[in-house]
Protein backbone atom coordinates (compact mmCIF):
# COMPACT_ATOMS: atom_id res chain seq x y z
CA UNK A 1 0.00 0.00 0.00
CA UNK A 2 1.53 3.26 -1.00
CA UNK A 3 1.83 5.80 1.75
CA UNK A 4 2.34 8.75 -0.49
CA UNK A 5 -1.14 8.72 -1.99
CA UNK A 6 -3.60 7.65 0.68
CA UNK A 7 -6.37 9.73 -0.86
CA UNK A 8 -6.29 7.69 -4.04
CA UNK A 9 -7.32 4.65 -2.11
CA UNK A 10 -9.90 6.47 -0.03
CA UNK A 11 -11.72 7.81 -2.99
CA UNK A 12 -11.21 4.89 -5.30
CA UNK A 13 -12.24 2.08 -3.00
CA UNK A 14 -16.01 2.59 -2.70
CA UNK A 15 -16.58 3.32 -6.38
CA UNK A 16 -13.49 2.36 -8.31
CA UNK A 17 -14.20 4.19 -11.53
CA UNK A 18 -11.43 5.87 -13.47
CA UNK A 19 -13.16 9.22 -12.95
CA UNK A 20 -12.97 8.89 -9.19
CA UNK A 21 -9.25 8.25 -9.23
CA UNK A 22 -8.71 11.24 -11.44
CA UNK A 23 -10.45 13.48 -8.90
CA UNK A 24 -7.55 13.09 -6.46
CA UNK A 25 -5.20 15.81 -7.70
CA UNK A 26 -8.12 18.22 -7.95
CA UNK A 27 -9.21 17.44 -4.39
CA UNK A 28 -5.66 17.87 -3.17
CA UNK A 29 -5.38 21.15 -4.99
CA UNK A 30 -8.62 22.44 -3.52
CA UNK A 31 -7.49 21.51 -0.02
CA UNK A 32 -4.18 23.20 -0.68
CA UNK A 33 -5.88 26.31 -2.00
CA UNK A 34 -8.11 26.51 1.07
CA UNK A 35 -5.03 26.30 3.28
CA UNK A 36 -3.30 29.04 1.33
CA UNK A 37 -6.34 31.30 1.68
CA UNK A 38 -6.44 30.61 5.41
CA UNK A 39 -2.74 31.35 5.75
CA UNK A 40 -3.32 34.66 4.00
CA UNK A 41 -6.14 35.44 6.45
CA UNK A 42 -3.77 34.72 9.35
CA UNK A 43 -0.84 36.71 7.97
CA UNK A 44 -2.75 39.62 6.42
CA UNK A 45 -3.51 41.48 9.69
CA UNK A 46 0.21 41.75 10.39
CA UNK A 47 0.98 43.03 6.89
CA UNK A 48 -1.78 45.63 7.25
CA UNK A 49 -0.39 46.58 10.64
CA UNK A 50 3.13 47.23 9.36
CA UNK A 51 2.01 48.95 6.15
CA UNK A 52 -0.35 51.35 7.92
CA UNK A 53 2.26 52.28 10.51
CA UNK A 54 4.05 54.09 7.66
CA UNK A 55 1.03 56.11 6.51
CA UNK A 56 -0.43 59.46 7.49
CA UNK A 57 -3.56 59.37 9.66
CA UNK A 58 -5.69 60.33 6.69
CA UNK A 59 -4.28 57.69 4.34
CA UNK A 60 -4.64 54.94 6.92
CA UNK A 61 -8.29 55.78 7.43
CA UNK A 62 -9.08 56.24 3.76
CA UNK A 63 -7.14 53.35 2.29
CA UNK A 64 -6.25 50.74 4.92
CA UNK A 65 -5.83 47.94 2.37
CA UNK A 66 -2.96 49.56 0.48
CA UNK A 67 0.04 47.44 1.46
CA UNK A 68 2.71 49.58 -0.21
CA UNK A 69 2.38 53.12 1.14
CA UNK A 70 4.79 54.93 -1.17
CA UNK A 71 6.50 57.23 -0.44
CA UNK A 72 5.46 56.48 3.17
CA UNK A 73 6.11 58.48 6.30
CA UNK A 74 7.82 57.70 9.59
CA UNK A 75 5.88 60.42 11.40
CA UNK A 76 4.21 57.86 13.68
CA UNK A 77 7.57 56.55 14.86
CA UNK A 78 8.91 60.06 15.39
CA UNK A 79 5.93 60.87 17.61
CA UNK A 80 6.45 57.66 19.58
CA UNK A 81 10.03 58.56 20.35
CA UNK A 82 9.69 62.32 20.85
CA UNK A 83 6.27 62.99 22.33
CA UNK A 84 5.71 59.72 24.13
CA UNK A 85 8.04 57.92 26.45
CA UNK A 86 8.25 54.85 24.27
CA UNK A 87 11.97 54.19 24.93
CA UNK A 88 11.43 54.25 28.69
CA UNK A 89 8.50 51.83 28.44
CA UNK A 90 10.60 49.57 26.23
CA UNK A 91 13.38 49.62 28.80
CA UNK A 92 10.95 48.84 31.62
CA UNK A 93 9.52 45.93 29.63
CA UNK A 94 13.02 44.62 28.97
CA UNK A 95 14.17 44.96 32.59
CA UNK A 96 11.05 43.26 33.92
CA UNK A 97 11.03 40.48 31.32
CA UNK A 98 14.72 39.67 31.79
CA UNK A 99 14.55 39.74 35.59
CA UNK A 100 11.37 37.64 35.70
CA UNK A 101 12.83 35.15 33.24
CA UNK A 102 16.12 34.74 35.14
CA UNK A 103 14.30 34.28 38.43
CA UNK A 104 11.72 31.90 37.02
CA UNK A 105 14.19 29.69 35.22
CA UNK A 106 16.54 29.43 38.20
CA UNK A 107 13.82 28.76 40.78
CA UNK A 108 11.89 26.40 38.46
CA UNK A 109 15.02 24.35 37.85
CA UNK A 110 15.91 24.17 41.55
CA UNK A 111 12.43 23.18 42.63
CA UNK A 112 11.89 20.85 39.68
CA UNK A 113 15.14 19.04 40.46
CA UNK A 114 14.33 18.70 44.16
CA UNK A 115 10.85 17.33 43.40
CA UNK A 116 12.22 14.90 40.83
CA UNK A 117 15.34 13.69 42.60
CA UNK A 118 15.90 14.79 46.20
CA UNK A 119 13.99 12.69 48.71
CA UNK A 120 12.69 14.88 51.53
CA UNK A 121 9.81 14.64 53.95
CA UNK A 122 6.72 16.43 52.62
CA UNK A 123 7.78 16.27 49.00
CA UNK A 124 4.46 14.76 47.92
CA UNK A 125 2.46 17.50 49.63
CA UNK A 126 4.65 20.25 48.19
CA UNK A 127 4.20 18.80 44.72
CA UNK A 128 0.44 18.51 45.17
CA UNK A 129 0.48 22.17 46.25
CA UNK A 130 2.19 23.22 43.01
CA UNK A 131 -0.35 21.25 40.99
CA UNK A 132 -3.21 22.92 42.87
CA UNK A 133 -1.74 26.36 42.15
CA UNK A 134 -1.71 25.67 38.40
CA UNK A 135 -5.49 25.29 38.65
CA UNK A 136 -6.10 28.79 40.07
CA UNK A 137 -7.23 31.10 37.24
CA UNK A 138 -4.83 34.09 37.15
CA UNK A 139 -7.57 36.66 36.60
CA UNK A 140 -9.12 35.70 39.92
CA UNK A 141 -5.87 36.82 41.55
CA UNK A 142 -5.85 40.36 40.12
CA UNK A 143 -7.46 42.20 43.03
CA UNK A 144 -5.92 39.90 45.67
CA UNK A 145 -2.41 40.44 44.27
CA UNK A 146 -2.84 44.18 44.55
CA UNK A 147 -3.89 43.74 48.19
CA UNK A 148 -0.76 41.74 48.99
CA UNK A 149 1.58 44.15 47.16
CA UNK A 150 -0.01 47.03 49.01
CA UNK A 151 0.33 45.25 52.34
CA UNK A 152 3.99 44.43 51.63
CA UNK A 153 4.67 48.04 50.65
CA UNK A 154 5.98 47.19 47.18
CA UNK A 155 3.03 48.52 45.16
CA UNK A 156 4.19 50.74 42.28
CA UNK A 157 7.80 49.53 42.29
CA UNK A 158 9.98 47.31 40.14
CA UNK A 159 9.96 44.73 42.93
CA UNK A 160 6.17 44.61 42.89
CA UNK A 161 6.15 44.23 39.12
CA UNK A 162 8.85 41.55 39.00
CA UNK A 163 8.74 39.30 42.05
CA UNK A 164 5.10 38.11 41.85
CA UNK A 165 5.59 37.07 38.22
CA UNK A 166 8.42 34.78 39.31
CA UNK A 167 5.87 32.50 40.95
CA UNK A 168 5.48 29.86 38.27
CA UNK A 169 4.12 26.47 39.21
CA UNK A 170 3.78 25.42 35.57
CA UNK A 171 7.52 25.81 34.98
CA UNK A 172 8.31 23.76 38.08
CA UNK A 173 6.10 21.05 36.66
CA UNK A 174 7.87 21.06 33.27
CA UNK A 175 11.34 20.93 34.84
CA UNK A 176 10.34 18.14 37.23
CA UNK A 177 9.13 16.00 34.32
CA UNK A 178 12.33 16.66 32.46
CA UNK A 179 14.70 15.89 35.35
CA UNK A 180 12.89 12.59 35.87
CA UNK A 181 14.04 11.54 32.41
CA UNK A 182 17.73 12.16 33.17
CA UNK A 183 19.46 8.87 34.03
CA UNK A 184 20.40 8.56 37.71
CA UNK A 185 23.82 7.06 36.97
CA UNK A 186 25.06 10.52 35.95
CA UNK A 187 24.49 11.94 39.43
CA UNK A 188 25.76 8.89 41.23
CA UNK A 189 29.13 9.23 39.52
CA UNK A 190 29.28 12.85 40.60
CA UNK A 191 28.39 12.03 44.23
CA UNK A 192 31.05 9.31 44.27
CA UNK A 193 33.55 11.97 43.21
CA UNK A 194 32.59 13.80 46.39
CA UNK A 195 30.56 16.63 44.84
CA UNK A 196 27.77 18.17 46.93
CA UNK A 197 24.11 18.34 45.98
CA UNK A 198 24.17 21.84 44.52
CA UNK A 199 27.39 21.22 42.63
CA UNK A 200 26.00 18.01 41.16
CA UNK A 201 22.80 19.81 40.17
CA UNK A 202 24.58 22.84 38.74
CA UNK A 203 27.45 21.37 36.81
CA UNK A 204 26.29 17.84 35.99
CA UNK A 205 22.49 17.60 35.73
CA UNK A 206 21.54 21.13 34.64
CA UNK A 207 23.70 21.11 31.49
CA UNK A 208 21.87 17.95 30.44
CA UNK A 209 18.54 19.75 30.80
CA UNK A 210 19.45 22.34 28.17
CA UNK A 211 16.45 21.74 25.86
CA UNK A 212 13.96 22.11 28.70
CA UNK A 213 15.76 25.18 30.05
CA UNK A 214 15.68 26.83 26.62
CA UNK A 215 11.97 26.09 26.37
CA UNK A 216 10.98 27.58 29.72
CA UNK A 217 13.30 30.55 29.14
CA UNK A 218 11.51 31.44 25.93
CA UNK A 219 8.04 30.81 27.34
CA UNK A 220 8.85 32.94 30.42
CA UNK A 221 10.26 35.81 28.40
CA UNK A 222 7.32 35.75 26.03
CA UNK A 223 4.80 35.63 28.88
CA UNK A 224 6.34 38.47 30.89
CA UNK A 225 6.97 40.65 27.83
CA UNK A 226 3.32 40.27 26.81
CA UNK A 227 1.94 40.56 30.35
CA UNK A 228 -0.67 43.27 30.87
CA UNK A 229 -3.01 42.57 33.77
CA UNK A 230 -0.31 42.23 36.43
CA UNK A 231 1.15 45.64 35.52
CA UNK A 232 -2.32 47.14 35.64
CA UNK A 233 -2.67 46.20 39.31
CA UNK A 234 0.96 46.40 40.48
CA UNK A 235 1.89 49.96 39.43
CA UNK A 236 0.30 53.29 38.65
CA UNK A 237 3.03 55.83 37.90
CA UNK A 238 3.78 56.56 34.22
CA UNK A 239 7.50 56.10 34.93
CA UNK A 240 6.83 52.41 35.43
CA UNK A 241 4.78 52.00 32.26
CA UNK A 242 5.67 48.89 30.28
CA UNK A 243 5.02 48.64 26.55
CA UNK A 244 1.76 46.81 27.17
CA UNK A 245 0.37 49.39 29.59
CA UNK A 246 1.62 52.28 27.46
CA UNK A 247 -0.02 50.96 24.30
CA UNK A 248 -3.17 50.16 26.26
CA UNK A 249 -3.39 53.81 27.36
CA UNK A 250 -2.90 54.86 23.74
CA UNK A 251 -5.98 52.95 22.66
CA UNK A 252 -8.14 53.90 25.62
CA UNK A 253 -8.19 57.65 25.09
CA UNK A 254 -6.05 60.47 26.36
CA UNK A 255 -4.19 62.94 24.15
CA UNK A 256 -3.27 60.30 21.58
CA UNK A 257 -6.44 58.25 21.80
CA UNK A 258 -8.32 59.90 18.95
CA UNK A 259 -9.95 57.36 16.72
CA UNK A 260 -8.02 58.33 13.62
CA UNK A 261 -4.50 58.18 15.05
CA UNK A 262 -4.08 54.60 13.95
CA UNK A 263 -0.57 54.77 12.43
CA UNK A 264 0.81 55.75 15.83
CA UNK A 265 -0.87 52.86 17.65
CA UNK A 266 -0.04 50.37 14.91
CA UNK A 267 3.60 51.49 14.92
CA UNK A 268 3.80 51.00 18.69
CA UNK A 269 2.12 47.60 18.44
CA UNK A 270 4.46 46.55 15.64
CA UNK A 271 7.58 47.63 17.53
CA UNK A 272 6.54 45.81 20.69
CA UNK A 273 6.02 42.63 18.69
CA UNK A 274 9.58 42.59 17.30
CA UNK A 275 11.42 41.01 20.28
CA UNK A 276 8.99 38.12 20.71
CA UNK A 277 8.75 37.65 16.96
CA UNK A 278 12.54 37.43 16.61
CA UNK A 279 12.75 35.04 19.54
CA UNK A 280 10.00 32.95 17.99
CA UNK A 281 11.63 32.69 14.59
CA UNK A 282 15.04 31.85 16.06
CA UNK A 283 13.78 29.21 18.48
CA UNK A 284 10.69 28.15 16.55
CA UNK A 285 11.13 24.45 17.14
CA UNK A 286 11.57 24.78 20.90
CA UNK A 287 8.66 27.21 21.25
CA UNK A 288 6.27 24.90 19.44
CA UNK A 289 7.54 21.76 21.17
CA UNK A 290 7.32 23.58 24.50
CA UNK A 291 3.76 24.66 23.93
CA UNK A 292 2.84 21.07 23.14
CA UNK A 293 4.65 19.75 26.20
CA UNK A 294 3.58 22.46 28.63
CA UNK A 295 -0.11 21.79 28.33
CA UNK A 296 -0.12 18.10 27.60
CA UNK A 297 -1.96 16.13 30.28
Partner 1 sequence: MSSDVATATRTPTSSRTARPSPHGRRQARAGWVFTAPALLLVLLFVGLPVVMAVWVSVSGWRGRGSPFASGVPFVGLDNYRTLLAGGGLPTQDLGTALRNNFWYVVLVVPLQTVVALLLAVAVNRRTLRGRGFFRTAFYFPSVTSSVAIVVVFLFLFSASGAVNQVIGVLGIDGPNWFADPRGVLHVLLGALGVGESPGALADHGFIGISWWEWLAGPSVAMSALILLAVFTTSGTFMLLFLAGLQNISAEVEEAALVDGASSFQRLRHVTVPMLRPVLFTVLTLGLVGTWQVFDQIYAGTQGGPAKTTITPAYLSYTTSFVDQRWGQGAAIAFILFAIIVVLTLVQRAVLRGDRT
Peptide bond preceding 71: is omega within 30 degrees of 0, i.e. cis? yes
Extended beta strands in the chain, E state? none
Choose which of 73, 75, 94, 107 interacts with partner 1 (CB under 8 A). 107
Binds partner 1 (CB under 8 A): choice among 118, 189, 255, 282:
118
User: What track of x and - describes contact with partner 1 for positions 69 through 98 (by CB under 8 A)?
Assistant: ------------------------------
Shortest distance in whole angstroms from residue 202 CB to partner 1 = 11
- Our CB check for partner 1 shows the closer of 50 and 81 to be 50
Measured CA to CA, the distance from residue 19 to residue 104 in angstroms comes to: 60
Which residues fall within 8 angstroms of residue 117, CB to CB, at 6 or more apart? 179, 180, 184, 187, 205
Of 126, 86, 84, which Cα lies nearest the Cα of 256? Answer: 84
Q: In angstroms, rounded to a whole number, what is the distance separating the alpha carbons of residues 47 and 41?
A: 10
Contact segment (CB under 8 A) with partner 1 among 68-76, 77-85, 136-144, 202-210 equals 136-144
Convert residues 8-27 into a mask of x (bound to partner 1 by CB under 8 A) and - (unbound): -xxx-xx-------------
3-state secondary structure of 174: helix
Instruction: Pick one of 48, 75, 204, 214: the residue that binds partner 1 (CB under 8 A).
Output: 48
Nearest approach in angstroms of CB 78 to partner 1 is 19
CA 125 – CA 131 distance, rounded (Å):
10
The correct pick among 94, 95, 98, 148 for binding partner 1 (CB under 8 A) is 148
Residues of span 183-242 touching partner 1 by CB under 8 A: 191, 196-198, 201, 222, 225-226, 228-229, 232-233
Q: How far is the CB of 287 from partner 1 (least distance, A)?
A: 7
Nearer to partner 1, 95 or 110 (CB): 110
Helix (H, G, I), strand (E, B) or coil at 124: helix
Residue 167 binds partner 1, judged by CB under 8 A: yes
Q: Judge whether 241 and 88 are in contact, CB under 8 Å.
A: yes
Q: How far is the CB of 44 from partner 1 (least distance, A)?
A: 8
Residue number with CB closer to partner 1 (6 or 87): 6
Count of residues making up the chain: 297
Phi and psi torsions of 280, nearest 5°: -65, -45
Shortest Å distance, C-beta 175 to partner 1: 10
Write out the binding residues for partner 1, residues 236-275 only, by CB under 8 A.
Answer: 243-244, 247-248, 250-252, 259, 262, 265-266, 268-270, 272-273
Long-range Cβ contacts of 235-240 (<8 Å, 24+ apart): 235/155, 235/156, 235/157, 235/160, 235/161, 236/155, 236/156, 237/156, 238/85, 239/88, 240/92, 240/156, 240/157, 240/158, 240/161
Residue with smaller CB distance to partner 1, 166 or 182: 166
By rule CB under 8 A, what count of residues binds partner 1? Answer: 112
Amino acid sequence: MSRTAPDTVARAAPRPSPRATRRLPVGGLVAHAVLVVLAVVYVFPFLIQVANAFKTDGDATADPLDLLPLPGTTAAFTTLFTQLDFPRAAMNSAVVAVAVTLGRVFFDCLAGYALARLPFRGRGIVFAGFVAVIAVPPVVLLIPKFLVLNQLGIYDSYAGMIVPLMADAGGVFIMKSFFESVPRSVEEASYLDGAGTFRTFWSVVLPMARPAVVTITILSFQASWNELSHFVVSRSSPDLDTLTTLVATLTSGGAFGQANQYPLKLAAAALMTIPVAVLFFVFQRQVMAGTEGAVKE
